[in-house]
Amino acid sequence: MSTSLLEVEVHLDEQDLVQTMKQEVAHGLRQRPRQIPPKFFYDERGSQLFERITELPEYYLTRAERALLDRAAPGIAERCGCSELLELGSGSSAKTRVLLNAMKGAGLLEKYVPVDVSETMVRETADQLRSEYPKLAVHAVIGDFTRHLHLLPHGERRLVAFLGSTVGNFERDSAVALLREVASALGPQDRFLLGTDLVKDQAVLEAAYNDSEGVTAEFNRNALRVLNQQLDADFVPERFEHVAFFDRVNSWIEMRLRSTEDQTVTIPGLEMVLDLSEGEEIRTEISCKYTRESVEDLLREAGMKLVEWLPDEREYFALSLAARG
């Protein structure tokens, strides 16, 4: 294969992203409690802050998943026999290389399909991967996996990866609906690889989202800066404090921004005015924590069956290999 084997399929552009933001933010801010979707953390500054979070001693998730992938990927590649890797929410594809190397080592690797909303990042990553894997065909898809799964290219013997415990950002009904769409796109020889953070000691969970350096707090407030930039809002991030706690009933970490005073925020891009009282909170993220049983239930309800359960040594994080069924 030559370096000409690069295809980029675009299903959304900057105008689409802004329009989606307007719809989702307007809907969320009218809820009680008010909400901002977590996808809006990630402008350039937000992405840089998140990279810092992954290096903090309290934030175990990224290290746990990476160590688990390093250990499990060769066996996954051999047992699946998949020649194509399709990744939902690929980002910079940093962890993806572990799977690509494992598939290459098994003599199977032919194609990579990254799916992400950032065209710039996807194109840059595709160029890097083509340099690192000269025989690899890359079919990049610029799209939102919550909206464009039905537009993904067809393939055979695919490993569909959804890593980083991103599924945890969805409440159960939404997670089931998303995974049901994934299941409908799987062929009989395809496999689905899901990364999930596991239920553990509450102190460990809460520390991961309340780091001593305050990086997560700044990351949380950055969502307000994104709304200021994109929607001409006049949030003053310093007037909000970071709140993160484990909700045992729902088995999730919940992040919020709490207003430290009575304040009025105008959002011209939404033709909206928010009157916030002191102590009022805006939910910015949930991060569901799972058990093997809850993952199996989630997959079953979505039309998939668990093929292999792969937790790390501390049972902090798990990879689940599933098939349609």
Q: What is the CATH number of the domain that holds 140?
A: 3.40.50.150
Distances (CA, A) of 304 to 181, 315, 318, 320: 11, 23, 17, 11
Answer whether residue 252 is part of any domain. no
Amino acid at 291: T
The answer to whether 319 and 73 have CB atoms below 8 angstroms apart is no
Residue 300 has a pLDDT of 98
Answer whether residue 17 is part of any domain. yes
Taking Cα atoms as reference points, which of 280, 289, 319, 287 lies closest to residue 41?
Answer: 287
Phi-psi region of 32 (alpha: psi -120 to 50; beta: other; left: phi over 0): beta
Answer whether residue 266 is part of any domain. no
Find residue 60's DSSP bridge partners.
Answer: none
The answer to whether 106 and 73 have CB atoms below 8 angstroms apart is no
Answer whether residue 56 is part of any domain. yes
Answer whether residue 97 is part of any domain. yes
Residue 1 has a pLDDT of 38
Spell out the per-residue pLDDT of the chain, length 325, in tens. Answer: 344 488 999 998 888 888 989 999 999 999 999 999 998 888 889 989 999 999 999 999 999 999 999 999 999 999 999 999 999 998 777 788 999 999 999 999 999 999 998 888 888 888 889 889 989 999 999 999 988 888 888 888 999 999 999 999 999 999 999 999 999 999 999 999 999 999 999 999 999 999 999 999 999 999 999 999 999 999 999 999 999 999 999 999 999 999 999 999 999 999 999 999 999 999 999 999 999 999 999 999 999 999 999 999 999 999 999 999 8
Taking Cα atoms as reference points, which of 252, 35, 311 lies closest to residue 321?
Answer: 311
Beta strands 137-142 and 6-10, pairing class: parallel
Answer whether residue 60 is part of any domain. yes
Helix (H, G, I), strand (E, B) or coil at 16: helix
Answer whether residue 271 is part of any domain. no
Residue 15 has a pLDDT of 85
**Domain of residue 27, residue span:** 1-229+291-325
Domains held by the chain: number: 1
Residue 104: partners with Cβ closer than 8 Å, 6 or more residues away: 133
Answer whether residue 6 is part of any domain. yes
